[in-house]
Amino acid sequence: MKKDPYAPLGPAMDEKPKFWRSLEHKEGDPLVKAAISLEFPDGPPLLANSKVYSRRDALKLAGAGAGTAAVLSSCDAIPLRRPEEEILPFVRAPEKVIPGIRKMYATALPRAEGALGVLVEAHEGRPTKIEGHPDHPSSLGSTDVWAQAEVLRIYDPERREGPVHNGSAATWDAWEAFAQASGEAWGQNGGKGVAILAEEHDGPTFARLLNEFKSKYSNARLYRWDPLCPDATLLGASIAYSAGTRVAHDLTKVKTIFSLDSDFLASGPQHIALARQFGASRAIQASDDLAGMMRLYAAEGIWSVTGTNADHRLRIAPGLLPEVLKDLAHRLVTVHGVDLGPIGTRVASGSLPEDAQKFVAAVAKDLANHRGAAVVMVGERQPAEIHALGHAINAALESPSPTVLRHSADPRESMYDSLAALTKALNNGDVDTLIIFEANPVYTAPGGLKFGEALKKAKTVIHAALFPEETGAQATWHVPIGHSLESWGDAHAFDGTVSLIQPLIHPLFGGRSQLEILSQLLGVSDKSDKNLVEDTWRKDGATLASATSWRTALHDGLLVGSGFAVASGAPDFAAVAEALGENPGSAPSTTSFDLVADFGHAQDGRLTNSSWIMELPDSITKLCWDNAALMAPATAHALGIKSHVSKNKYSADVVVLEVDGRTIHVPVFVFPGISENTIAIHHGYGRKVGEVAKEIGVDVNPLLARGNTLRGVKVTRTEATATICSTQDHFSVPGNPFHEMTFEAATTQKKGAPERTLGLGSRQLYRSGTASEYKVDAEKIAKKGEIEGVLLGPSLGTTRPTQPVQGTDAIVYEGQQWGMVIDLSSCIGCSACTIACQAENNISTVGRDQVLLGREMHWMRVDRYFFGDVSDPTAVHQPVNCMQCENAPCEPVCPVGATTHDEEGLNAMAYNRCIGTRYCSNNCPYKVRRFNYLDYSHTGDIYVEPYWKERMKTFALQRNPDVSVRYRGVMEKCTYCTQRVEEAKIAAKGDGADRKALPDGAVTPACAQVCPTHAITFGNIHDEKSRVANLKKSARNYEMLQELNIRPRTTYLARVRNENEELA
Amino acid sequence: MAQIFPRWTNRSPTQVLIALLVFGGAVTFAFYWWASPSNTDVGYKPVQPVAYSHELHAGTLKIDCRYCHTYVERSQFAGVPSTQVCMNCHSQAKKDSPLLAAVRKSWDEGRGTQAIPWKRIHKLPDHAFFNHSAHVGFGVGDNRAAIGCETCHGRIDTMAVVKQVEPLSMSWCIACHNDPAASIRPVSAMTTMGWKPDLAWVEKAKGIAETLAPPGAFSRAQRQQQDGTYLTFATSGCNGCHR
């Protein structure tokens, strides 16, 4: 038989992929296949329900165009000359402010888990980008998704410009008069009936003012509510050690980690520092490094980022998780002779399933073998006593990781108890005036408490927060406060390091700082937030009394050596044993589900009004602009629930979740890796207010009571279906890109020949191996699935090149040549790179409707692949940005030369040259080019919808002035942050240095800068000594789709998993 | 049967075609000629809020450009001076001149908050990123050189009212970037107006221009012309200016 010249050269097309993006991808759903071969599947051009563009707008637009034409033609002369522009210099130029040169300020973002030290970039007084603070213990130079999104919040036009009294705008004078009168009245009765509800993060100054408040108005009560607070973690330390302690971790000497339902790599206290240490140990470059490589075990019912990074993950129902740790403790005591004192008798081997028992036995053995180098991390969703048990095990294992710190002398009440006490007091009529700082309990309070109804019983509610939100809408007074980038303040990092907060900009909407508002209620109205912070630190004899020390601390953003005192002492085994109690866990069933409400990128909802956060696909599910009830395939099958792919989106059955008479309706997303009879759902959606966030997704709070794990949930299928938005199949890299190379292949279909839809051939885009494989042959891992010499094969006519366009050794580099290496071993999949890129490069968000058409604009995406068993797969992450191919397929097809190579190997993109043919994107095998289908940036010269014109007034201030803002019809993509490269070159010129030989590290793209694990390395590959050139020599280095010979400048280091052979 | 169309109509398609071509050519030429920056922008001379004379300050008094345009060596913007800079001298010199009323109003005894609204003359489109500091000092060691202020801004020292003298169009930028040797001068002569190179510098400039060539395997920074001469490309990638 004659050979079909178009037959794929690689694995057969109909072979099912070993690494799959979704259940449908694995099964070869024709819609997924079709979506892969059509990069931008044709959707309806404009959605009828789109708020932004409708047919009516098209008519308006036509009208506007006609109007413009009429105006132009009626003029005598068409104004060819550009409009007059003004330059407004300073009257008195401030020292060190140079227009055009960015300035970095050290400050901190207060958080429940401890402040994050950051450096904020300001352009002519506008904060535009947040970077990590290299000297701050909680940042170490990196940040996370939430820090990146924080900068957008200050420009949100929904912030109020002044106080709101009973729903109508009031003046600051009116507020101040009210505050003074209230203060005087409370002075009379000692603040009877006054209550304050605050979040967790008190800085020293806020705490000082709260103490003054309590002593001045002795009858006033203080309550706390902060869903993001590491509450159980702190309470667990109180049980195991003593009240007012916390446990900080340091993984540098750790070899074996057991994570129980914990996401210590991606959220919670110290997550950036812990991720850095974890990543560093996993980035092995030689066999010797294997000895220091951490091994991570995780047990969880739902996915966490940490779980995706685990070498062994136990999928187990949330209801059984406490049993896992008890079982582990039992085994450590009975099998491995670890001394847990009285705890030993309180823990017994529970009723764990067989696979879990095997897992726990292996973990126990590994932990015991690594005594002195092992640690157990317990997640925030576990009860305090399980945290205490974790501390006890760590102490018994002589773990080098924990350090006990004393942060307070007071015993701690749990957040839930505090809010419940407030609700009770409100219902009893004990609270006349409630002052709420920042918290949004009307939305975030668990439904079981019925807080919203209780709040109505207070006579006066004062809500001091950045946005009115749901609580502000119910409040008597909403007092807008300044963002932490707009006001003075101070905060403690998790380890206690005092971090000073300084403003970068005068409050944009005129808000007052929290400190000022509290001070006004104390009857002091003449002190600014700066005065109040100075009162704390600069009083005679105070730490920063001298001007030098104050200025140094302000410059550094922190007070060196100001951490909490180390509390010595071993955990109290007896107290832990007592706290454990007798409450055996049980597995859920089809009639009684477990439900876990977890915090994704949207957190508890405080960040949902940021479009960056809403559009950022979840690290694991890749859901964006949506949340859903995740359910294992087997469970869904048993209940007859379906969710199926339908062109870029998922259509899902809606279920009713019911517990104790409280119900919510939520669509189901059938998702592998969730434990049976378990539902996972993200917090923060289903908001009632906020232009960005409202009416998107489902609010899980009404279902909840104490804690975020719920048992005994009844699930009933309804007849309704809903659309959910997941990008997991978007921008799939075609499995067999050769077919895109010929027109004929795409158009002709011979009889009997295999179907030529692209996409499912098993190209090994993601490569990984085990540590033992690495030890035997380090290069083998990176060569897995490599297709040898494809382009060197026999000539098959003119349709396919017969030899490499440019041989590997034929290329002689000159000067500096930029390249990037992404280490898949240390990448944890946190998605911070995606959003950092968005902030740096003025990337637009497109909205839910457009994402459903596959039009999201992120230049850097993080592909998540699964491999293994459908019900219990392993998940891996692969960040993909433009590879800056040396033989870039996008360049020759551009009819206008808008995309060309520069002399340093960057695949440049001249946006204003682009005419929008999209040929380049079609020809890009990695699918990393993004097209502005509509005016996503809202910068149109002719017509911008008034709604957007108004909104963009403030949002436009966030934009990076060094990067073009792209308009409709323009292709855009990653250029390794070419503006940063140029900036470094210009700086070198100014210094008289050679701009063609920048030192290693002179340029760091936004993605590499933000990366908590330093998984992304950028530099000059022509410099033998550079970090990136050395990484490219690594045995783990591989090119994605190397068989195409397009020579990508971004290469990957194959992941090495540190598997335990007993469990493999 | 009588002919419907007279004989001359045989030639009309050709005539119409020629007419269309001529018309199209004329329209193209009109845009090329009258809508190009060398027509629309060169000579732009707006009336400034203060009758400031560069002829007097830079020409007669020989104040260095950088006294007012302070940031030219540090930033992308050369900078327009703050009112304070004007008042450095004019709190003493010509302190009551009616011509300076707008400056004194802006200064308002040091308490002023209203900037002098200078009219912008030189402006590049938003998608072109120009950096002054990159042009007034480049090259390493002995090969250090600069582009003079006058190269792009003209003889400012002779302008009572400043106007734009160069088109600042892309082809104008590229012309110099293709052959920088003709435009570079010693850094010390950066602000000198009417500077003329001597023969030694002309030779040296060629050498410097060669060092400016960016090496690269993909685009040749030096291109040989038909006649055997080399053109040097100071920047050959698009992303030097378009990001």
CA distance A962 to chain B (A): 7
Q: Does A942 touch chain B (CB under 8 A)?
A: no
A70: pLDDT strictly greater than 70 = no
| CA distances to A246, A378, A388, A416, A711 from A232, in Å | 11, 10, 9, 10, 18
Query: What whole-number percentage of chain A has pLDDT above 70?
Result: 88
Separation between Cα atoms, residue A295 and residue A259, nearest integer Å: 11
**Mean pLDDT for all residues in chain B:** 87
Name the pLDDT band for A349 (thresholds 50, 70, 90).
confident
Rounded to the nearest 5°, which phi and psi values hold at A109? -105, 115
pLDDT tens by residue, A790-820:
443 333 443 333 344 444 455 567 788 899 9
Residue appearing with tokens 């750790």? A254
Is pLDDT at B56 greater than 90 in this prediction?
A: yes
Residue A300 forms contact with B (CB below 8 Å): no
Residue A520 has pLDDT above 70, yes or no: yes
For A900-960, the DSSP string reads EE-TTS-EEE-GGG-----HHHHH-TT---EE--S-TT---SS---HHHHHHHHHHGGGS-
CB contact under 8 A, B216 and A908: no
Least confident of A538-542, B78-82, B184-188: A538-542
Looking at the predicted structure, is the pLDDT value of residue A212 above 80? yes
pLDDT tier at A612, thresholds 50, 70, 90:
very high
What single string gives the DSSP state of each residue in chain B? ---SS-GGGGGHHHHHHHHHHHHHHHHHHHHHHHSSHHHHTTT--PPPSS---HIIIIIIS---HHHHSGGGGTSSS--PPPHHHHHHHHTTTTTT-GGGHHHHHHHGGGT--PPP-EEP-----TT----HHHHSSBSSGGG-BEE-HHHHH--GGG-SS----S---HHHHHHHHH-GGGTEE-GGGTT-TT----HHHHHHHHHHHHHHSPP-SSS-SEEE-TTS-EEE-S--SGGGT--
> Counting one residue from A and one from B, how many pairs have CB atoms under 8 Å apart?
169
Residue type, B55: E
Q: What is the mean pLDDT of residues A492-501?
A: 94
**B213: CB partners within 8 A, 6+ apart:** B221, B222, B232, B233, B234
* pLDDT of res. B99: 92
Query: How far, CA to CA in Å, does A183 sit from each of A189, A214, A523, A848?
Result: 10, 12, 6, 47
pLDDT band at B235 (very low <50, low <70, confident <90, very high): low
Q: pTM for the whole thing?
A: 0.90
CA triple A168-A172-A176, angle to 5 deg? 115
Whether residue A87 and residue B120 make contact (CB cut-off 8 A), yes or no, is yes
Selected residues 100-129 of chain A with any CB under 8 Å from a CB in chain B: 100-101
- Cβ-defined contact of A908 to B40 (cutoff 8 Å): no
Contact: B216, A902; criterion CB under 8 Å = yes
> Do residue A978 and residue B116 have CB atoms under 8 angstroms apart?
no
Cβ distance A363 to A311 under 8 Å? no
Q: Looking at residue B221, what is its pLDDT?
A: 41
pLDDT of residue A817: 87
Nearest CB neighbour to A903, from listed B76, B79, B215: B215
Select the more confidently predicted residue: B33 or A845.
Answer: A845
Strand A593-598, strand A709-724: pairing: antiparallel
| Alpha-carbon gap: A82 to the closest alpha carbon of chain B (Å) | 8
* pLDDT (tens digit per residue) in B101-118: 999 999 988 888 899 999
- Of the candidate ranges A38-42, A53-57, A604-608, the one whose mean pLDDT is the lowest: A53-57
The whole-number pLDDT of residue A35 equals 66
Residue from A90, A102, A903 to probe the interface with B (highest B Cβ count within 10 Å): A903
Cross-chain residue pair A908–B237, CB shorter than 8 Å? yes
Nearest CB neighbour to A91, from listed B112, B140, B240: B112
Measured between CA atoms, the residue of chain A closest to residue B127 is A964
Which pLDDT belongs to residue A806? 45
Closest-CA distance, B68 to chain A, in angstroms, reads: 11
Contact: A964, B243; criterion CB under 8 Å: yes
How near does any CA of chain B get to the CA of A134, in Å?
Answer: 26
Element (H, E) at A680: strand A678-682
Q: What is the mean pLDDT of residues A999-1007?
A: 95
Q: Which helix (H) or strand (E) holds A402?
A: strand A402-406
Q: Under an 8 A CB cutoff, do A962 and B125 touch?
A: no
DSSP per position, A159-201: S-SS-EETTEE--HHHHHHHHHHHHHHHHHHTSTTEEEEE-S-
Length of chain B: 243
**B115 to A80: CB separation less than 8 angstroms, yes or no:** no
pLDDT for residue A752: 56
Q: Which of A812, A908, A985 sits opposite B217 (nearest CB)?
A: A812
pLDDT digits (tens, 9 = 90+) for A965-996: 999 999 999 999 999 999 999 999 989 898 88
Q: If pLDDT is split at 50, 70 and 90, which confidence band does A779 have?
A: confident
What letter would DSSP give residue A563?
A: P
**Better-predicted residue by pLDDT, A430 or A904:** A430
Work out the minimum CA distance from B11 to partner chain A, whole angstroms.
35
Label residue B222 by pLDDT band (50, 70, 90): very low
Asked if this assembly's ipTM is beyond 0.95, the reply is no
Question: What confidence tens digit (pLDDT) does each residue in A902-947 have?
Answer: 878 888 899 999 999 999 998 898 999 999 999 999 987 778 888 8
Maximum mean pLDDT: which of A75-79, A684-688, B173-177 = A684-688
Exposure class string for A932-945: b at 16+ Cβ within 10 A, else e: bbbbbbbbeeebbb
Name the pLDDT band for B16 (thresholds 50, 70, 90): very high
Q: Cβ contacts of residue A786 below 8 Å, gap of 6+? A: A764, A1038, A1042, A1043
From the list B134, B237, B242, which residue is nearest A911 (CB)?
B242
Task: Give A840 or A95, the one with higher predicted confidence.
Answer: A840
Contact map slice: A 34-93 vs B, CB within 8 A: 80-82, 84-93
Place A109 in a pLDDT band, splitting at 50, 70 and 90: very high
Q: What is the per-residue pLDDT for A800?
A: 37
The predicted-structure confidence for A128-148, as pLDDT tens digits, reads as follows 999 999 999 999 999 999 999
Side-chain half-sphere exposure of A431, counting CA atoms within 13 A: 26
Q: Give the pLDDT band (50/70/90) at residue A117.
A: very high
Using CA coordinates, name the residue in chain B closest to A887.
B218
Count Cβ atoms within 10 A of the Cβ of residue B128 and give its class: 0-12 exposed, 13-18 middle, 19 or more buried. middle
Tokens of A1010: 């933000």
Contacts with A723 (C-beta within 8 Å, 6 or more apart), sequence order: A649, A650, A651, A652, A667, A852
- Write b or e for each residue in A315-353: b if 16 or more Cβ atoms lie within 10 A of its Cβ, otherwise e: bbbbbbbbbbbbbbbbbbbeeeebebbebbebbeebebe
pLDDT in tens, A224-241: 999 999 999 999 999 999
pLDDT of amino acid A13: 47
pLDDT digits (tens, 9 = 90+) for A247-271: 999 999 999 999 999 999 999 999 9
Q: How would residue A5 be classed by pLDDT, with cut points 50, 70 and 90?
A: very low
Percent of chain A with pLDDT over 90: 67
Give me chain A's average pLDDT, please: 87
B140–chain A nearest CA distance, Å: 5
Distance (Å, whole) CA A628 – CA B89: 69
Rounded mean pLDDT, A313-333: 94
The two structure tokens encoding residue A98: 């140079």
Q: Tell me which chain B residue has its CA closest to the CA of residue A87.
A: B118
User: Which of B35, B106, B219 is nearest residue A91 as measured by Cβ atoms?
Assistant: B106
